[in-house]
């Protein structure tokens, strides 16, 4: 994990986490798989857990069964310096996938395309004068639809009130004559949490998808106080609290994870990893002291 990246997107796959990670690092420049382990004897049987970095941005993925399926409510915007870079990424990511918005020139960008790749993950590819050639940047993008359409601006203030080093950028709203979109709702906005950029938008169109556990956001915490802080402020669905996972008031999933646990799972012996796994499986909110004791047991 990048030392400066406190919030890490986590992608749930049925069985494809390792192959997806290997595919992505072959597509994006300056990318690599950073760790891989297998969690044994979980409710989903054995689960492959893989961490990888794409052009400097950290991700984590797990193979944990077919319970959740990735959808376009959360996509990843890839900003490139040139149309050639956009085209090259599009060619690779679209193979075996589906174009959600065809690669083309649009009023808002000279080269844009939105594609759902062969694994179901969605990518928005754009050109940006802020980027350096060969070093695209990746930004998680949230789309508020159906029951939460109209709540994006509220969410901007909610998230930036909880996370540190946070701010709200310019907000572009839908105007008159853009029906069925609702005038005044958020077409696009930037915001920053823990010095990391996100974007948000909403759509009044009927969509057959919404936030689910297939894409969540890991929040790395240095101590129990931090775990308690984020858990208390974010968790809004009691039945979704399991193994460090929670859902907020908008249905977005988060994992509140001690940084020390990440290190345990990355560097521990098979026996240590097994003990930590069995210790955290019954937990809702993680208890760091219990996890450390399980790791250190002889």
Cis peptide before 180 (omega within 30 of 0): yes
Claim to verify: residue 190 and residue 216 sit in the same structural domain: no
Claim to verify: residue 65 and residue 80 sit in the same structural domain: no
pLDDT at 4: 76
Task: Select from 147, 177, 203 the last residue of a domain.
Answer: 203
Claim to verify: residue 65 and residue 110 sit in the same structural domain: no
Range of the domain at 88: 74-203
Claim to verify: residue 269 and residue 165 sit in the same structural domain: no
Task: Select from 203, 228, 262 the last residue of a domain.
Answer: 203
- Inside any domain, residue 2: no
- Inside any domain, residue 62: yes
Claim to verify: residue 199 and residue 94 sit in the same structural domain: yes
pLDDT at 266: 87
Q: What is the CATH number of the domain that holds 171?
A: 3.30.720.110
Claim to verify: residue 223 and residue 189 sit in the same structural domain: no
Q: What is the CATH number of the domain that holds 37?
A: 3.10.180.10
Claim to verify: residue 21 and residue 111 sit in the same structural domain: no
Please give the chain's pLDDT, 298 residues, in tens.
455 799 999 999 999 999 999 999 999 999 999 999 998 888 888 899 999 999 999 999 999 999 999 999 999 999 999 999 999 999 999 999 999 999 999 999 999 999 999 999 999 999 999 888 888 999 999 999 999 999 999 999 999 999 999 999 999 999 998 888 989 999 999 999 999 999 999 999 989 999 999 999 999 999 999 999 999 999 999 999 999 999 999 999 999 999 999 889 988 999 999 999 999 999 999 999 999 999 999 6
For the stretch 145-150, contacts whose Cβ atoms lie closer than 8 Å and that sit 24 or more positions apart, written own/partner, are: 145/73, 145/202, 145/203, 145/205, 145/207, 145/209, 145/210, 146/206, 146/207, 146/210, 147/210, 148/202, 148/210, 148/250, 148/251, 149/182, 149/185, 149/202, 149/203, 149/204, 150/182, 150/185, 150/202, 150/204
User: Domain count of the chain?
Assistant: 2
Claim to verify: residue 184 and residue 81 sit in the same structural domain: yes
- Inside any domain, residue 37: yes
Claim to verify: residue 82 and residue 194 sit in the same structural domain: yes
- Inside any domain, residue 1: no
pLDDT at 1: 40
Claim to verify: residue 168 and residue 99 sit in the same structural domain: yes
pLDDT tens-digit map of 188-200: 999 999 999 999 9
């Amino acid at each position: 994990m990048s030392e400066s990246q406190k919030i890490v997107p986590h992608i749930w796959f049925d069985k494809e986490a390792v192959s997806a990670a290997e595919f992505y690092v072959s597509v994006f420049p300056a990318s690599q798989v950073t760790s891989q382990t297998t969690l044994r004897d979980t409710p989903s049987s054995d689960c492959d857990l893989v961490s990888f970095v794409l052009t400097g941005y950290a991700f984590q993925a797990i193979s944990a069964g077919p319970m959740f399926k990735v959808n376009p409510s959360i996509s990843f915007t890839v900003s490139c310096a040139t149309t050639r870079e956009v085209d090259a990424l599009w060619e690779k990511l679209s193979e075996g996938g589906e174009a959600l918005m065809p690669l083309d020139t649009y009023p808002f960008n000279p080269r844009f395309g939105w594609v759902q790749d062969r694994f179901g993950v969605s990518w928005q590819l754009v050109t940006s004068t802020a980027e350096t050639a060969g070093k695209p940047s990746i930004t998680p993008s949230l789309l508020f639809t159906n029951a939460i359409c109209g709540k994006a601006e509220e969410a901007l203030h909610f998230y930036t009130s909880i996370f540190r080093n946070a701010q709200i950028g310019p907000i572009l709203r839908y105007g008159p004559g853009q029906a069925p979109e609702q005038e005044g709702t958020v077409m696009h906005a930037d915001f920053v949490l823990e010095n990391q950029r996100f974007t948000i938008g909403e759509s009044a169109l009927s969509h057959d998808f919404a936030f689910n556990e297939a894409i969540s956001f890991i929040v790395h915490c240095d101590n129990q106080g931090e775990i308690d802080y984020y858990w208390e402020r974010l968790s809004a669905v009691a039945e979704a609290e399991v193994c460090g996972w929670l859902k907020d008031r908008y249905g977005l999933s988060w994992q509140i994870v001690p940084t020390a646990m990440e290190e345990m799972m990355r560097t521990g012996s098979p026996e240590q990893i097994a003990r930590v796994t069995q210790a955290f499986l019954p937990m809702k909110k993680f208890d760091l002291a219990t996890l450390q004791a399980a790791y250190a047991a002889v």
